[in-house]
Amino acid sequence: MIYKFLFFISSFFILFGLVTGNVNIPSQIATIIKSPDYLITDYVEIAGVGGAFFNSGLLMLLFTMLLKLLRVNPTGVSIAAVMTIGGFALFGKNLFNVWPIVAGVFLYTLAVGENLRTYLYVAFFGTALAPVTTHLVFGNDFNILGIVIVLLIGFFLPPLASFALTLHKGYNLYNVGFTAGFLGMFIGALLRAYDLHPEPRLIWHEKNQFLLAVFMFLFFSIVLIFGFRLNGWKLSGYKNILKYSGKLLTDFVLLENEAITFINVGILGLVGTIYVLGVGSKLNGPTIGGIMTLAGFGALGKHPKNVLPVVVGVLIGALTNSQPFNSPAMVLAVLFGTTLAPIAGEFGFLWGVVAGYLHSALVINVASLHFGMNLYNNGFSGGFVAMFLLPIIEAFRNIKNKFFERLKRSSEEW
């Protein structure tokens, strides 16, 4: 059933791209492949709605076929990975720049004598560094040398991702984004040292709002209805999802079932779309990418209960800091900042708000470390927030426990 779902969403995006792009699709795809695509580069703006969505749908289809080719039994992580790739294929990933990263991960897998499926999802999420391929091959004419460098980047992703997980202990859902941020930081430093770094950019589409809104509401409504249909047209069982903290790896397909997972994906997608439009922002490549990632991780840890506190925290930051609350940076921080949902799920509403608030400040600063080469910038920021908060939360817990122990002893002595 999950394969059917993944093939459906891929086809839905491809069809939408073909209908809106028409005969211009080949030239639009060529524009996407050749254009610099570090943060923030909206493919909808530089190539049109058709080319961007065709690129997204085709990439989701190809990665789904890769799962099928390797005979993977798909679960919630498969949904999260493919939908995240599809979302970022609207602003950073394309039919050319992702494959050297994937190949590099596979080379590492073969080098250590593992099955290709062992680090498959590291390869999927590792495409966060896809802009490095474009920058080196097309931006600086490194050509074959550029491909070799990116292969090496992919090669080092698996061991680094395993280590990064120990740092935040699974409380940052975008673990490979955190890993890619570290790699991107060193890549950025080397590029700057040789004056090869890119300049900051913001390419942000603001047109076609009615068309994109209809597409998003239709798409996630279909997903939601599909889940309801599988669940016997009932919501029963959905509240079971809300009891999980969401800490990696909380796979709702394995822990509950596919029907409940699809319902959660649909709900989060619709809520994300309503939020973007409600705050007066725009539906475009980056924001739809954020909604797709939010919804995709509705199969791997996120649900309304653990997402809400983080969103509240980011909004508090956005309303009180120097950034307009509906600015691109803050809107994306709300959507992607839900990477910290497990903190709220495990430690409660208040700590989730604190995590979101800290994230709203940190996320606008860390992108300069990798010059936008890590598309999962919120995952990079989220990892630092989790690392910072976890020992503080533990300290407060210890203080609280000792206080009540002393209080109890005092009352007994009295």
Average pLDDT, stretch 215-230?
Answer: 97
Residue-wise pLDDT tens digits, 31-52: 999 999 999 999 999 999 999 9
Looking at the structure of the chain, the number of domains it has is 1
Report the distance separating Cα 163 and Cα 294, nearest Å: 25
Cβ contacts of 121 within 8 Å, gap of 6 or more: 77, 78, 81, 176
Identify whether 248 is part of a domain: no
Residue 75 located in a structural domain: yes
Please say if the pLDDT value at position 408 is more than 80.
Answer: no
Q: How far is the C-alpha of 392 from the C-alpha of 400, rounded, in Å?
A: 12
Among 11-15, 65-69, 97-101, 400-404, the least confident range: 400-404
* Residue-level pLDDT at 412: 64
pLDDT of residue 348: 96
Mean pLDDT score of the chain? 95
82 Cβ contact partners less than 8 Å away, ≥ 6 residues apart = 6, 9, 10, 60, 63, 64, 67, 124, 296
- Is 254 contained in some domain? no
- Specify if 308 maps to a domain: no
130 with 158: CB under 8 angstroms? no
Q: What is the predicted pLDDT for the residue at 401?
A: 79
| Residue 12 resides in a domain | yes
In tens, the pLDDT along 267-301 reads 999 999 999 999 999 999 999 999 999 999 999 99
Tokens of residue 240, six digits = 């079971």
What residues does 89 pair with on adjacent strands?
none
Percent of the chain with pLDDT over 90: 89
Reported pTM: 0.95
**Rounded average pLDDT over 388-393:** 96
| Residue 174 within any structural domain of the chain | yes
Question: Is the pLDDT reported for residue 413 higher than 70?
Answer: no
On the 0-12 / 13-18 / 19+ scale of CB atoms within 10 A, 412 is exposed
Q: Would you state the pLDDT for residue 372? A: 94
217 domain-assigned: no
Taking 3-state DSSP, the helix, strand and coil percentages for the chain, each rounded to the nearest 5, stand at 75, 0, 25
What would the mean pLDDT of 79-102 be, rounded to a whole number? 97
Contact call for residues 37 and 199 (beta carbons, < 8 A): no
Q: Which domain holds residue 138?
A: 2-193
Distance CA 335, CA 293 (A): 8
- Single-letter code of the amino acid located at 397: R
Q: What are phi and psi of 233, to 5 degrees?
A: 60, 35
Q: Is residue 246 part of a domain?
A: no
pLDDT for residue 22? 83
CB of 269 closer than 8 Å to CB of 87: no
Q: What mean pLDDT comes out for the span 345-369?
A: 96
Report phi then psi at 92, rounded to 5: 150, -35
